[in-house]
Structure 1
Amino acid sequence: MKAHYLGHVVFYVKDLQRSLTFYRDLLGFKEVGQIFDGAAAALTSGRTHHELLLIQVGDAPGPPSGRRRGLYHIGIKVGDNLAELRAAKQELERAGIAIEGMSDHTVSQSLYLRDPDGNEVELYVDADESLWKNDPAAVVSPIKPLRL
């Protein structure tokens, strides 16, 4: 067996509408429909039928903070160059979303933030793919600070 790509992520969320405001309205995913009597919504970037499914669970406990086993964060590509990442940062700031970190990973440049339920989200742009195609070890290059 060979994995082709990561198909989708499912998040349990406290408030579906609040999460839709973040993922659909701010990050630009398209809502393709709701299921479970409106308690869940599927979203897509257009790459496939859905990359994200949000299921409302109300006041169930959220993700624990700090280091632990399990999901660390999801990465969402938001453009093809630093100008687009800079524009995304400005849009997030206008929306009152705190940027928790910015990193240059050599093969990509990233912003880190939290969704309404405290899940870490990485928004990134890829660097020139020749960097990792010519040197696959570039993906584990030391992380450098990013200034936008």
Structure 2
Amino acid sequence: MGVVQDIGHILLPVDDMDKALAFYRDLLGFRVVGKGSPVWTVIETKGGQLTLWRTTEIPKVALGPKGDSSPFEFHVENFEAAAAHLESKGIRVRRNEAHAGTIWDPFGNVLRVHDHVE
């Protein structure tokens, strides 16, 4: 039997907590569930938690040879509706394939968005 019970949190670097909350809470719909200090805030959705970590040295969260893929994938009910909403708010959206795409947060972190529509 393994010793790990679950994933505690995943850190996401940001350099402005107010801007991060405007994006992740107000636009994407995460709930704030913990604030330890001005340096970190825990946000969650039904699938898990992220910790927004304020730092002046932001290593961009991105993968792939072009830096345009992500270790994070957020599920949405309808990708096209979500993409249209995000674009209307000035968020860059790249459609990768049917029902999936890539967005960038205000700090340059790359995030995948995907739905399960057949």
Q: TM-score range by the shorter chain?
A: 0.7 to 0.9
Give yes or no for contact 1:102–1:112 (8 Å, CA) kept in 2: yes
Aligned AA for 1:124? Answer: H
Q: How far, CA to CA, are the matches of 1:102 and 1:64 in structure 2?
A: 18
Structure 1 equivalent of residue 50 of structure 2: 52
Percent identity, aligned pairs only, is 25
The answer to whether structure 1 residue 120 and structure 2 residue 118 are counterparts is no
Aligned AA for 1:40? Answer: W
Q: How far, CA to CA, are the matches of 1:45 and 1:64 in structure 2?
A: 20
The answer to whether structure 1 residue 63 and structure 2 residue 60 are counterparts is yes
Instruction: After TM superposition, list the pairs within 5 Å mapping 1:16-95 onto structure 2.
Output: 16-35=17-36, 37-48=37-48, 51-58=49-56, 60-63=57-60, 67=65, 72-79=70-77, 84-95=78-89
SS in 1 for 2:107: coil
Structure number with greater Rg is 1
SS in 2 for 1:62: coil
Q: TM-score, normalised by structure 1?
A: 0.64
Pick the aligned partner of 1:96 from 85, 90, 97: 90
Q: How far, CA to CA, are the matches of 2:25 and 2:17 in structure 1?
A: 11
| Off by >3 Å, runs of 4+ in structure 1 | 1-8
Aligned length: 115
Give yes or no for contact 2:70–2:112 (8 Å, CA) kept in 1: no
SS in 1 for 2:96: strand
SS in 2 for 1:96: coil
- Displacement of 1:44 after TM fit? 0.8
CA deviation digits over 1:4-43, x for unaligned, max 9?
Answer: 87664211211111111111111100111211x2221101
Give yes or no for contact 1:73–1:119 (8 Å, CA) kept in 2: no
Pick closer, same or farther for the CA change 1:33–1:5 going to 2, 3 Å.
Answer: closer
Greater per-residue helix proportion:
1
Runs of 5+ unmatched residues, structure 1: 129-148
Aligned AA for 1:38? Answer: P
- Displacement of 1:67 after TM fit? 2.4
Q: How far, CA to CA, are the matches of 2:90 and 2:46 in structure 1?
A: 26
More RCO (CA 8 Å, sep 6+): 2
Q: TM-score, normalised by structure 2?
A: 0.78
SS in 1 for 2:59: coil
